[in-house]
Amino acid sequence: MMPEAASALLAENLTKTYDQVPAVDNLSFRIEAGAVVGLLGGNGAGKTTTLAMIMGLTTPTAGSVRVFGADMAHERAKVLRRINFESPYADLPHRLTVRQNLKVFGKLYGVADPAGRIAELASALDLEDFLDRRTGQLSAGQKTRVALAKALINEPELLLLDEPTASLDPDTADWVRGHLEIFRQRRGATIVLASHNMGEVERLCDRVIIMRAGRIAHDERPGALIARYGRGTLEEVFLDVARGRGAQARLVDVAK
């Protein structure tokens, strides 16, 4: 049993199989409150399934997830007000305006003053110009900012992000990362970030969990991982891991 003190998130022997094929295989990790952790891996590595199990949207085949000490299989209602997420798999209703969408989610999350919170977010995330436009009429970048506003509406203590900057131009993506940094500093929130953008992960994360075929291949600080592989960037390390080249083999190659 892993210790629970000060854990925002504790996954123990987390397993998900589909038709006897493991999508996530016996995953165990603990994330301390206030940490920003990158969940990396190639397509099909099990990142989204892991996030879905953390959120309680997918039931694990075995193992458990605890968020702020609450078992997500049986006690998720206790902690859902303290969590939020953004995922490319979920949209906000296109026919509602940005303000209407945020108002509805503000009320669902029990925000005391939804109108005030929307005004704060609109100012911080630069939504004011299109607050009363239909969400479906926005550009990809604007939609991402709105999705982020929805994810921050309840000032979550645990924020789960699945590819938050996918399909964004570099400027907008950089802008979103900047806001995540500000939110983390201000709120002291725990962030779990699934991403394919290694630069983003290096910039935002204190720690990376690299998944391969549903298992944890590495779990350490980005700098330490880069040094161990003798590489210059996390992207190079990611490619080594994805292609099955271990750190030792890579260091032997360098020595030759």
Partner 1 sequence: MSLRLAVRHLSLARILAMVERHIYLLSASPFRIIDIVYWPTVQLLTWSFLQLYVGRASQLPLLAAGTLIGGILLWDVLFRGQLGFSMAFLEEVWSRNLGHLLMSPLRPIELVVSFMIMSVLRLAIGLIPAFLIAIIFFKFDVAAVGIGLPFFFVNLMLTSWSVGLLTSGLVLRFGLAAETAAWGAMFGIMPFACVSYPVATLPHVLRPIAWVFPPTYVFEAMRALLLSGNFRLDLLVESFALNLLWISAGALAFRALLASARKAGSLLSMGE
Closest to partner 1 by CB, 162 vs 200, is 162
> Does 107 participate in binding partner 1 (rule CB under 8 A)?
yes
105 binds partner 1 (CB under 8 A): yes
Q: Are strands 158-162 and 7-18 parallel, antiparallel or unpaired?
A: unpaired
44 binds partner 1 (CB under 8 A): no
80 binds partner 1 (CB under 8 A): yes
* Strands in the chain per DSSP E: 7-18, 21-32, 36-40, 62-67, 70-71, 83-86, 158-162, 190-194, 207-212, 215-220
- Distance from first CA to last CA of the chain, Å, rounded? 43
195 counts as binding partner 1 under rule CB under 8 A: no
Q: Is 18 in the site for partner 1 (CB under 8 A)?
A: yes
Structure tokens at 128: 């004011």
- Least distance (Å) between residue 101 CB and partner 1: 8
Does the protein bind partner 1 through residue 77 (CB under 8 A)?
yes
Is residue 55 part of the contact set for partner 1 (CB under 8 A)?
A: yes
Sheet holding 190-194, edge to edge: 83-86, 158-162, 190-194, 36-40, 207-212, 215-220
Interface with partner 1 (CB under 8 A), residue from 133, 134, 187, 228: 134
Q: Binder to partner 1 among 12, 81, 133, 220 (CB under 8 A)?
A: 81
Q: Is 223 in the site for partner 1 (CB under 8 A)?
A: no
Binding segment for partner 1 among 29-37, 98-106, 189-197, 198-206 (CB under 8 A)? 98-106
Cβ-defined contacts of 109-112 (< 8 Å, 24+): 109/81, 109/84, 109/153, 109/154, 110/81, 110/154, 111/153, 111/154
Q: What does the binding site for partner 1 look like in residue numbers (CB under 8 A)? A: 16, 18, 23, 48-49, 52, 55-59, 77, 80-81, 83-85, 87, 89-97, 100, 103-105, 107-110, 134, 150
